[in-house]
């Protein structure tokens, strides 16, 4: 079983955040944060950042997710960045977040709350590495023919009314991670795409270094 301390190694948390509340949900593969109130929702600790409406990444402590393609700055409206749909990507470790196509200045640590019953789990449906690469290549071709809006809309339709989508680290992101001198977190790299207006609260951050 993975050790939460291994996952959060090197993360600088805010003084007000209680790291003793962190555990691992082995089914989801994400860190959880104990809530003082009983709820059907689940508090997760994820790592990454989110695009700002004015360009760059959100730097504040609270992030309200951008969920629509045309609410993003034009430079982020590309199939490479939005091929899995629009919405912040939260990774299950700081190391996994290094797979971003574009990186923020630091990797943020965020607490957010999901409904497990409205979380679409694609981990067993994604197929082999070759299949995943081929699927993304097909989306690139379709974008040239149909336009980006239609392709992204079709991705969103596949997610239904789920408020979050769980998947494993994409192949190209795995390659980007190797550019950094970071130890393994002890859990398989995964991410959640936020697909509803869930508030992301920043509780810490981690800097990183390239090899």
- Residues 109/207, Cβ–Cβ less than 8 Å: no
Query: Which stretches of 129-202 are DSSP H helices?
Result: 129-146, 148-159, 171-177
- Residues 80/101, Cβ–Cβ less than 8 Å: yes
Q: What is the mean pLDDT of residues 146-158?
A: 92
Q: What is the pLDDT of residues 40-91, one digit of tens each?
A: 788 999 999 999 999 889 988 988 889 999 999 999 999 999 999 999 999 9
Q: What is the pLDDT of residues 12-47, one digit of tens each?
A: 999 999 999 999 998 889 999 987 565 678 899 999
- Residues 148/79, Cβ–Cβ less than 8 Å: yes
Better-predicted residue by pLDDT, 35 or 142: 142
In this predicted structure, the answer to whether residue 1 has a pLDDT above a threshold of 80 is: no
Q: What is the pLDDT of residues 172-187, one digit of tens each?
A: 888 888 888 777 888 8
Q: What is the mean pLDDT of residues 119-123?
A: 91
pTM: 0.91
Task: For residue 14, give both structure tokens.
Answer: 């805010």
Q: Is 83 left (phi over 0), alpha (psi -120 to 50) or beta?
A: alpha
pLDDT at 2: 73
pLDDT at 37: 62
pLDDT at 38: 56
- Residues 21/11, Cβ–Cβ less than 8 Å: no
- Residues 126/169, Cβ–Cβ less than 8 Å: no
* 116 to 37, 113, 121: CA distances (angstroms): 17, 9, 10
Instruction: Give CA–CA dist 89/164, Å, rounded.
Output: 10
Domain limits, the chain? 4-206
Instruction: Give CA–CA dist 71/60, Å, rounded.
Output: 18
pLDDT at 211: 61
Mean pLDDT of all residues belonging to the chain: 88
Provide, rounded to the nearest whole percent, the portion of the chain with pLDDT above 90. 52
pLDDT classification of 120: cutoffs 50, 70, 90: very high
pLDDT at 93: 94
């Amino acid at each position: 079983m993975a050790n939460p301390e291994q996952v959060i190694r090197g993360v600088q948390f805010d003084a007000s955040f209680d790291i003793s509340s962190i555990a691992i949900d082995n089914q989801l593969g994400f860190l959880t944060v104990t809530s003082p109130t009983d709820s059907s929702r689940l508090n997760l600790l994820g790592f990454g950042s989110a695009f700002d409406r004015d360009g760059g990444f959100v730097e504040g402590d609270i992030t309200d997710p951008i969920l629509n393609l045309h609410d993003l700055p034009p430079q982020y409206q590309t199939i490479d960045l939005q091929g899995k749909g629009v919405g912040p990507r939260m990774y299950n470790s700081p190391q996994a977040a290094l797979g971003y196509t574009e990186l923020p200045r630091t990797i943020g640590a965020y607490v957010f709350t999901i409904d497990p019953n409205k979380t679409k789990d694609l981990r067993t449906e994604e197929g082999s590495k070759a299949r995943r690469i081929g699927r993304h290549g097909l989306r690139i071709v379709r974008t040239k023919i149909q336009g980006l809006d239609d392709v992204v809309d079709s991705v969103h339709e596949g997610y239904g009314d789920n408020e979050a989508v769980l998947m494993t680290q994409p192949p190209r992101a795995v390659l980007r991670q190797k550019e950094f001198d970071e130890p393994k977190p002890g859990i398989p790299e995964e991410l959640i795409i936020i697909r509803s207006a869930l508030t992301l609260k920043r509780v810490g951050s981690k800097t990183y270094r390239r090899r």
